[in-house]
């Protein structure tokens, strides 16, 4: 028979810390602390498997669960010498959630369960404190009514506020036993008024109501959102912990608190936390009373007048310090601890590895390694790679006032303040004048690139996490909020409306790209500082990783930023972004309007010096490192205006034939440009375009070779190749052009020719391509689009519904689809490697900066990942962790 219930307490336990998947983090650690002989109130854990069963079977329990819970209660009763539901000697319990991954505050808790009109009298008699008993009863009614019965917490707060006002008091501890009796009576009246039936009096009914509510809270909105944020699978479920109550609200010798064995913000190795005398756990976090510091040093640092626990309860505090020291030593990590003192006796209610900032995580990991507690490799594995984002971008001061005026997707982290602008040219103009601006667009396009570069941050009403705005913003290190559905933009009026308020061009707003929020006015910032701990840990990470890490970069600023963050080359240089510069866009349009090849070559000759200069800058910055240059990819219509009015205006300013422009725009129009005349199809139809770019790349490489200590290593990449014959044609074009350049210069540089794998056919026929391609770069943005048949720029409209309904676990444009897209990558790697042993392979889509996707790249055996410059440190750390995980797997296989 399946065991659904595991007991703990009284110096022993059925489980231990290794059973987190089954017992949840809280249950596993309660069992572990019990086995260590620490003072833990006895109880039992209902497993996560019971939760999974509950949701898989129409919210019904396993048949054996009722009997196992009853047996668990009997064991608790035997340890504490009290009986659940007994009027004269009642056992009271807490009912708490506990998933295998810590989700603080996301699910529900009920305290003081078992109280009713009879047991409250028994509690009063046993404790000799009627005030305490009725204070506990009113807490239980409030919590149970809110969590289980679905009533508003505010209903009860209003009643309590009325009583306080009548009595002329401000804090709960000023109410007497008689006062609490009246409050309880009014609370029960609220329940009967709202529900049409009395507050539940049967302790068993109360218990099962609470267990069901805790299971149900696994699926509440905040828990779902938290799981999405932290990639916690819905399928895990939560455990439920039923534990004998201990009371911190039994007078001045009782207290409750929360402690961290090290500072969770800074990582400093000092006990950190707060407590309250004569209180229960929710009082510490509710803000009704001001918590007090645990230590005297903490009290003095905060200039508090109320005594610390160290001063108010010196004997218990000394015991507490010993216990928390044992816990950190046992778990070999910073612990987050909940505790209660009941009439001078210490009880431990929870321990878990504490949540911490990125800066704190780095310091704790490095310090523990320096102390000899963990190895350097363990230190590398302790820091969450995505948490490094906190260190790499400006962030808002957590103490600053925030007025949120709109919210969307947190597309690119960091924070920025600036004037609202609705036009890319205006953003550039104001930036040149020294103004900080926030670019607000319905959606962005490559033509907005200069405005995006000029802006401090970007907002778009449309688009998802891998939309153009999101991808480019992350590459630039600009904070960005996308998909703000509540944003209504009126470009003509120069306004946007959100939540009933109109904002005009020139007004100041702040954006928080890490939280996806738009804030009113200017908000104080904290600038990033990369500490010595950061450098130390990254050096340890670089020792163990196998995957190389490159950056997606096409501007000198991006390249310098990437190299500063430790990039080992450029994995994707998008040349189309270079074409939109004001100095060259006219020549690009001249090339598009040309009637024949001669006209196109004449226009391209004007663009070539600019292209060469671009590559000289990039190659100089990346001297000695590989630089993968993607030849022109987008369709030509993106380089000319779309409306008649815009075309007329352009014709006037640049002396062009408006009628010819309109005719050409019509000719270039495509119903589905993403699958149209773009990528290598441009190179086949207009080979002179790719010839010019190849020439510019190699001439730049030759020039830098003469001045730099090391020659650059250009890798020329042809996009959107599907056929072996396409690759053959493009390889011959590239090599023919290269030989002409080398002959003219009487010099050579090494270079590679390859392709971007972004079509399913290319992956399936990788052997055909590898006959001519020397490297594969998996463009997973487009490969995901073409595999799923989903436009990434429009997917935001429905992807959330898919995730809410469990069809997608995560956004496939954020986290690589390892089953579908991943299979295509595996196939391409195997077939390409067989056709050309040693072929270089990497990934350059947005997935190149996602830790889970990087782990997949390690598994498949790719050579490198390429990501936005500001994600390079994240990728370096994730690659190291992937290598450590792979090594551990290999060692386990050897041991079998």
Q: What is the pLDDT of residues 365-386, one digit of tens each?
A: 999 999 999 999 999 999 999 8
Distance CA 583, CA 607 (A): 9
Residue with tokens 């090849």: 597
Which DSSP state fits 673?
Answer: G
Given 573, 680, 844, 857, the catalytic residue: 844
- pLDDT at position 864, please? 98
Closest by CA position to 82, among listed 114, 128, 46, 130? 114
User: How many secondary structure helices (H) and strands (E) does the chain include?
Assistant: 35, 34
Q: Please determine, for residue 895, whether its predicted confidence score (pLDDT) is greater than 80.
A: no
What does the alpha-carbon distance between residue 868 and residue 454 come to, in Å, rounded to a whole number? Answer: 18
Kindly report the pTM of this predicted structure.
0.79
Per DSSP bridges, beta strands 864-867 and 548-552 are: parallel
How far apart CA 644 and CA 67 sit, in angstroms, is 77
Residue 264 and residue 336 in contact, taking contact as beta carbons nearer than 8 Å: yes
pLDDT on residue 672: 79
For the chain, percent of residues with pLDDT exceeding 90? 67
DSSP per-residue string spanning 439-507? EEESS--GGGHHHHHHSSEEEESS--TTSHHHHHHHHHT--EEE--TT-EEETTTTEEEETTEEEETT-
State mean pLDDT over 555-573: 93
Q: Which pLDDT value is given to residue 464?
A: 65
> Would you say residue 609 has pLDDT above 80?
yes
Alpha carbons 367 and 213: distance in angstroms, whole number: 41
Nearest to 803 by CA among 794, 811, 795: 811
* 3-state secondary structure (DSSP) of residue 209: helix
What is the C-alpha separation between 606 and 279, in angstroms, rounded? 77
What is the reported pLDDT for 287? Answer: 46
CB contact at 8 A, 141 and 111? no
- Cβ pair 147, 125 in contact under 8 A: no
Decide if 50 contacts 61 (C-beta within 8 A). Answer: yes
Range in 259-273, 491-505, 660-674, 788-802 with the lowest mean pLDDT = 660-674
- Whether 468 is a known active-site residue: answer yes
The helix-helix angle for 597-621 and 687-707 (nearest 10°) equals 30
List 53, 393, 453, 468, catalytic entry? 468
Which residues are CB-neighbours of 56 under 8 A, at least 6 positions away?
none
Report DSSP state, residue 147: H
Contacts of 889 (CB under 8 A, 6+ apart): none
**Residue 888 region by backbone torsions, left for phi larger than 0, else alpha for psi between -120 and 50, else beta:** alpha
Q: Which of 395, 445, 582, 425 is nearest to 505 (CA)?
A: 425
Mean pLDDT, rounded, for 460-470: 72
- 60 CB-side CA count, 13 A: 5
844 as an active site residue: the answer is yes
Instruction: Return the bridge partners of 395, or none.
Output: 526
State the Cα–Cα distance between residues 380 and 43, nearest whole angstrom.
36
With bands split at pLDDT 50, 70 and 90, how would you rate the model's confidence at 801?
A: confident
**Per-residue pLDDT tens digits for 753-788:** 999 999 999 999 999 999 999 999 999 999 999 999
Minimal CA–CA distance to 437: which of 528, 508, 490, 494?
Answer: 508
Residue 514 is predicted with a pLDDT of: 83
**Token output for 123:** 């509690």
Residue 831 has phi, psi (to 5 degrees) of -75, -40
H or E segment at 601?
helix 597-621
Say how far apart CA 189 and CA 197 lie, in whole Å.
10
Task: List C-alpha distances in Å: 639 to 591, 681, 817.
Answer: 10, 17, 33
State residue 665's pLDDT score.
75
**Does residue 880 or residue 529 have the better pLDDT?**
880
Judged against a pLDDT cut of 50, whether residue 117 lies above it is answered with: yes
- Could you report the per-residue pLDDT of 261-319, keeping only the tens digit for each? 998 878 899 998 889 999 887 776 554 567 788 999 988 987 778 899 999 999 999 99
Contact 482, 505 (CB under 8 A): no
Does residue 640 or residue 534 have the better pLDDT?
A: 534
**Tokens 């594995």 label which residue?**
381
Q: Torsion-angle region of residue 698: left (phi > 0), alpha (psi -120 to 50) or beta?
A: alpha
Mean pLDDT check: name the lowest of 419-423, 582-586, 713-717: 582-586
Which candidate, 395, 433, 431, 436, places its Cα nearest to that of 418?
436
| Tokens at 380, concatenated | 């590398």
Could you tell me if 826 and 783 are in contact, meaning their C-beta atoms sit under 8 angstroms apart? no
**Mean pLDDT over the full length of the chain:** 90
pLDDT one-digit tens code per residue, 9-39 = 988 899 999 999 999 999 999 999 999 999 9
Strand partners, 490: 495
Distance CA 640, CA 668 (A): 10
Residue 467's pLDDT band (cuts 50, 70, 90): low
Is pLDDT of 103 > 90?
Answer: no
The pLDDT value recorded for residue 229 is 67
The radius of gyration computed from the CA coordinates of the chain, to the nearest angstrom, equals 32
Q: Name which of 14-23, 192-201, 275-284, 514-523 the model is least confident about.
A: 275-284
Q: Inform me whether the pLDDT recorded for 440 exceeds 50.
A: yes
d(CA 392, CA 574): 23
């Amino acid at each position: 028979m399946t065991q659904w219930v595991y007991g703990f307490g009284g110096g022993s336990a059925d489980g231990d810390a290794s059973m987190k998947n089954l017992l949840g983090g809280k249950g596993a650690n309660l069992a572990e602390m019990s086995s260590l002989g620490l003072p833990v109130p006895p109880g039992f854990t209902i497993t996560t498997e019971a939760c999974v069963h509950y949701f898989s079977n129409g919210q019904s329990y396993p048949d054996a669960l009722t009997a196992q819970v009853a047996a668990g209660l009997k064991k608790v009763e035997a340890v504490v010498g009290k009986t659940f539901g007994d009027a004269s000697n009642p056992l009271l319990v807490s009912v708490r959630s506990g998933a295998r991954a810590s989700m603080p505050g996301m699910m529900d808790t009920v305290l003081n369960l078992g109280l009713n009109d009879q047991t409250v009298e028994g509690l009063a008699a046993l404790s000799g404190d009627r005030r305490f008993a009725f204070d506990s009863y009113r807490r239980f009614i409030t919590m149970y009514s809110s969590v289980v019965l679905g009533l508003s917490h505010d209903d009860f707060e209003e009643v309590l506020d009325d009583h306080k006002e009548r009595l002329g008091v401000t804090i709960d501890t000023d109410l007497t036993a008689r006062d609490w009796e009246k409050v309880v009576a009014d609370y029960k009246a609220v329940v009967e008024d709202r529900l049409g039936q009395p507050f539940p009096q049967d302790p068993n009914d109360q218990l099962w109501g609470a267990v069901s509510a805790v299971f149900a809270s696994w699926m509440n909105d905040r828990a779902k959102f938290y799981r999405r944020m932290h990639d916690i699978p819905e399928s895990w479920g939560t455990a439920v912990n039923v534990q004998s109550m201990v009371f911190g609200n039994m007078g001045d010798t009782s207290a409750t608190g929360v402690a961290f064995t090290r500072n969770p913000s800074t990582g400093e190795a000092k006990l950190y936390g707060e407590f309250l005398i004569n209180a229960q756990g929710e009082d510490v976090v509710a803000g009704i009373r001001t918590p007090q510091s645990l230590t005297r040093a903490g009290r003095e640092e905060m200039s508090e007048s109320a005594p610390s626990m160290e001063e108010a309860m010196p004997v218990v505090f000394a015991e507490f310090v010993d216990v928390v020291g044992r816990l950190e030593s046992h778990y070999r990590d910073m612990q987050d601890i909940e505790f209660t003192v009941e009439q001078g006796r210490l009880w431990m209610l929870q321990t878990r590895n504490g949540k911490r900032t990125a800066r704190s995580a780095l310091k704790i990991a490095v310090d523990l390694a320096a102390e000899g507690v963990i190895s350097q490799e363990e230190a590398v594995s302790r820091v969450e790679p995505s948490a490094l984002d906190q260190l790499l971008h400006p962030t808002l001061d957590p103490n600053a006032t925030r007025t949120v005026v709109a919210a969307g997707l947190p597309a690119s982290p960091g924070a920025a303040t600036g004037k609202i602008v609705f036009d890319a040219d205006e953003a550039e103009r104001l930036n040149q004048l020294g103004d900080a601006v926030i670019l607000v667009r319905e959606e962005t396009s490559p033509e907005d690139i200069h405005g995006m570069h000029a802006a401090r941050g970007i907002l778009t009403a449309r688009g998802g996490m891998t939309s153009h705005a999101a991808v480019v913003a992350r590459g630039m290190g600009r904070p960005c909020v996308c998909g703000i559905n509540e944003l209504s933009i009126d470009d003509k009026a120069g306004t946007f409306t959100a939540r009933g308020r109109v904002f005009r061009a020139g007004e100041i707003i702040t954006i928080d790209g890490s939280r996806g929020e738009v804030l009113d006015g200017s908000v104080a910032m904290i600038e990033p500082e990369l500490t010595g701990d950061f450098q130390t840990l990254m050096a340890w990470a670089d020792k163990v990783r196998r995957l190389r890490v490159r950056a997606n970069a096409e501007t000198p600023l991006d390249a310098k930023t990437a190299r500063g963050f430790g990039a080992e080359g450029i994995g994707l240089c998008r040349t189309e972004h270079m074409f939109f510069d004001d100095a060259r866009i006219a020549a690009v349009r001249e090339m598009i309007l040309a009637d024949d090849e001669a006209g196109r070559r004449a226009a391209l000759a004007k663009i070539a010096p600019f292209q060469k200069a671009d590559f000289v800058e990039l190659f100089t910055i990346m001297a000695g490192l590989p630089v993968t240059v993607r030849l022109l990819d987008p369709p030509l219509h993106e380089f000319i205006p779309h409306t008649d009015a815009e075309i007329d205006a352009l014709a006037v300013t640049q002396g062009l034939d408006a009628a010819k422009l309109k005719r050409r725009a019509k000719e270039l129009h495509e119903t589905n440009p993403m699958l149209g005349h773009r990528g290598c199809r441009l190179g086949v139809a207009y080979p002179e375009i790719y010839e010019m770019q190849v020439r510019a790349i190699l001439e730049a490489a030759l020039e830098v070779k003469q001045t730099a200590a090391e020659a650059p290593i250009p890798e020329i990449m042809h996009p959107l190749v599907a056929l072996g014959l396409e690759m053959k044609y493009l390889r011959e074009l590239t090599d023919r052009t290269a030989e002409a350049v080398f002959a003219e210069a009487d010099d050579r540089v090494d270079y590679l020719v390859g392709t971007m794998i972004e079509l399913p056919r290319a992956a399936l026929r990788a052997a055909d391509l590898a006959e001519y391609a020397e490297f594969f770069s998996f463009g997973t943005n487009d490969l995901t689009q073409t595999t799923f048949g989903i436009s990434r720029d429009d997917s935001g409209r429905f992807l959330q519904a898919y995730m809410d309904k469990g069809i997608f676990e995560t956004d496939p444009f954020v986290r690589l689809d390892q089953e579908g897209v991943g299979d295509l990558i595996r196939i391409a790697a195997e077939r390409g490697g067989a056709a050309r042993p040693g072929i270089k392979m990497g990934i350059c889509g947005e997935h190149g900066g996602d830790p889970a996707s990087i782990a997949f790249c390690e598994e498949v055996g790719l050579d490198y990942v390429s990501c936005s410059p500001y994600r390079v440190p994240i990728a370096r750390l994730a690659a190291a962790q992937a290598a450590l995980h792979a090594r551990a797997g290999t060692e386990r296989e050897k041991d079998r």
